[in-house]
Amino acid sequence: MSDTGRISGRASVPVSVPDSKTPATVTRSRVRRVYSHRRRHLPLWVELPLLLLVAFCAAVLLRTFVVQSFDIPSGSMENTLQIGDRVLVNKLVYNLREPQRGEVVVFKGTERWASELDQKPSDGFLAEAGRAVGNLVGIASPNEKDLIKRIIGIPGDKVKCCDAKGRVTVNGVPLNESDYVFENPPVAKYNADCQAREFPSLTVPEGHVFVMGDHRGNSKDSRCQGFVPIENFIGRAVNVVWPKSSWSALRIPDTFAKVPEPDGDPPQASTTGGGGDGSEVLPLLPMALLLRPRESLVDVVTRP
């Protein structure tokens, strides 16, 4: 090899030996050492409370604004909903669109709506604090004003029972409710206890809905307790998620598609985006699995 660093007898090819400790290599090595030094794990006694706090905050946010599950303790929505079923409630939907006939909704009853709680909640600061915390994560005792019913009439609708065949009519069109109504009471004159099928013609006021339970003979509802303000809605019940054997979407019955608008216009196409087939619940399922609330719906029923 000549003094110029070229191989003799062959084409001149420059030869260079890289220095293993160039400035760039040294810099990267130092960064790795510093980064590794800074990534020390937190002690378990610090990390575990932080993880629990993050999980608690996530559960509270999801339950408050997105989705919540409710237990059904009574029979006023049989056989659509059985005692002990758990339903998933979409709390966002009515911020995006108006309620529709046939939807099953969870709402807070007004002062006119009676409760069926056998025991009144205990008083005292500790009891109140416990209920407040439990309510945040969905494990509180039943709220006496959380109710579940099916929407029969929306603002402007004229609702009445009965026609010549004993059917409920909405804007003059009779509903075929055989698919979801259970134990309809006898056709009798209206009374204030919801023990008769018949009720006078009512026009649903703006901002309200007319609701009824599917178990008509065992439900106190708008027939005797008045309209429900839409602003009191908690959300739409979209799916039965427990027990597994009862898994099903809470569909809008086909009969409501035949009801004309209050002004006489023909029925409008559904704007639920397929919500009637349960698709509204699919994006919410991962969040529902994270939430394990035990809050029950206190529904309004008539004791035998």
Distance CA 267, CA 217 (A): 29
Catalytic residue at 120? no
Smallest CA-to-CA distance from 71 within 62, 59, 83 is with 83
Amino acid identity, position 273: G
Nearest to 267 by CA among 185, 179, 170: 170
Cis peptide before 162 (omega within 30 of 0): yes
CA–CA dist 138, 136 (Å, integer): 6
Judge whether 149 counts as a catalytic residue: yes
The rounded distance, in Å, linking the Cα atoms of 4 and 6 is 6
Active-site position among 69, 74, 91, 149: 149
Q: Single out the catalytic residue among 76, 141, 219, 222.
A: 76
Strands 158-161 and 233-242, sheet pairing: unpaired
Question: Catalytic positions, please?
Answer: 76, 149
